[in-house]
Amino acid sequence: MSTTIYCFYSTQVICQEAILHISNGATDKEYCLVYNSLWTNLSLSLSAATAYPLVNLSSRLLCSSAGVSPAIVRGKAVVVMRGGCNFSQKAEIAQDLGAAALIVASTKPMSPPGANVTEYEKVQIPLALMRYMDFLDAQNVFGEEMQVRLYAPAVPVFDASIVVMLLIGVVTVALGGYWSGACERSDCTHTRGRGGEEKSDSGDLALYSPLKVVIFVGLMCLMLVLMYFFYKYLVYVIIAIFCLASATALFSCLDALLDLAKCSPMSVTVLGGSVSVRSVLLSAVCVTVAVVWGVYRNEDRWIWILQDLLGVAFCLNFLKTISLSNFKICVILLSLLLLYDVFFVFITPLFMPNGESIMVQVALGPDAAGEKVTTHLSLPVVMRVPRFSAWTQNLCGMQFSILGYGDIIVPGLLVAYCSRFDVWVNSPKKIYLFCCCIAYLCGMVLTFAVMLVTKMGQPALLYLVPFTLLGSALLAWRRGEMRQFWNGTTYEVRGQDTFP
Asked if residue 466 lies in contact with residue 171, where contact means CB atoms within 8 angstroms, the answer is no
Asked if residue 33 lies in contact with residue 18, where contact means CB atoms within 8 angstroms, the answer is yes
Strand partners, 78: 55, 102
H/E segment holding residue 79: strand 77-81
Report the Cα 140 to chain-centroid distance in Å.
37
| Active-site residue flag, 300 | no
Instruction: Report the alpha-carbon distance of residue 96 to residue 445 in Å, rounded.
Output: 50
Along the 500 residues of the chain, how does pLDDT read in single tens digits?
333 333 333 333 344 788 899 998 888 999 988 888 777 788 888 888 989 999 989 888 989 888 888 888 899 999 999 988 888 888 889 999 999 999 999 888 776 676 666 666 778 888 889 999 999 999 898 888 899 999 988 777 788 888 999 999 999 999 999 999 988 887 544 444 444 444 443 336 777 788 989 998 999 899 888 888 888 888 888 899 999 999 999 999 999 999 888 888 777 777 777 788 889 999 999 999 999 999 988 887 788 999 999 999 999 999 999 889 899 999 999 999 999 988 888 888 888 776 777 877 776 655 443 333 343 444 678 888 888 776 555 677 677 888 889 899 999 999 999 999 999 988 878 999 999 999 999 999 999 999 888 877 778 899 999 999 999 999 999 999 999 999 886 443 334 443 43
Q: Which among 159, 407, 422, 497 is annotated as catalytic?
A: 407
H/E segment holding residue 291: helix 277-296
Other beta carbons within 10 Å of 45: 11
Other beta carbons within 10 Å of 25: 8
Instruction: Report the alpha-carbon distance of residue 22 to residue 422 in Å, rounded.
Output: 63
pLDDT of residue 111: 66
- What CA–CA distances, in Å, run from 153 to 77, 160, 171? 20, 18, 34
Instruction: Report the alpha-carbon distance of residue 136 to residue 115 in Å, rounded.
Output: 28
pLDDT of residue 364: 60
Instruction: Report the alpha-carbon distance of residue 155 to residue 97 in Å, rounded.
Output: 33
**Coil/strand/helix, residue 487:** helix
Q: Which among 159, 308, 341, 422 is annotated as catalytic?
A: 341
| Active-site residue flag, 422 | no
With 0-12 / 13-18 / 19 or more C-beta atoms within 10 angstroms meaning exposed / middle / buried, residue 259 is: exposed
Instruction: Report the alpha-carbon distance of residue 147 to residue 233 in Å, rounded.
Output: 46
The secondary structure of residue 43, as a DSSP letter, is B
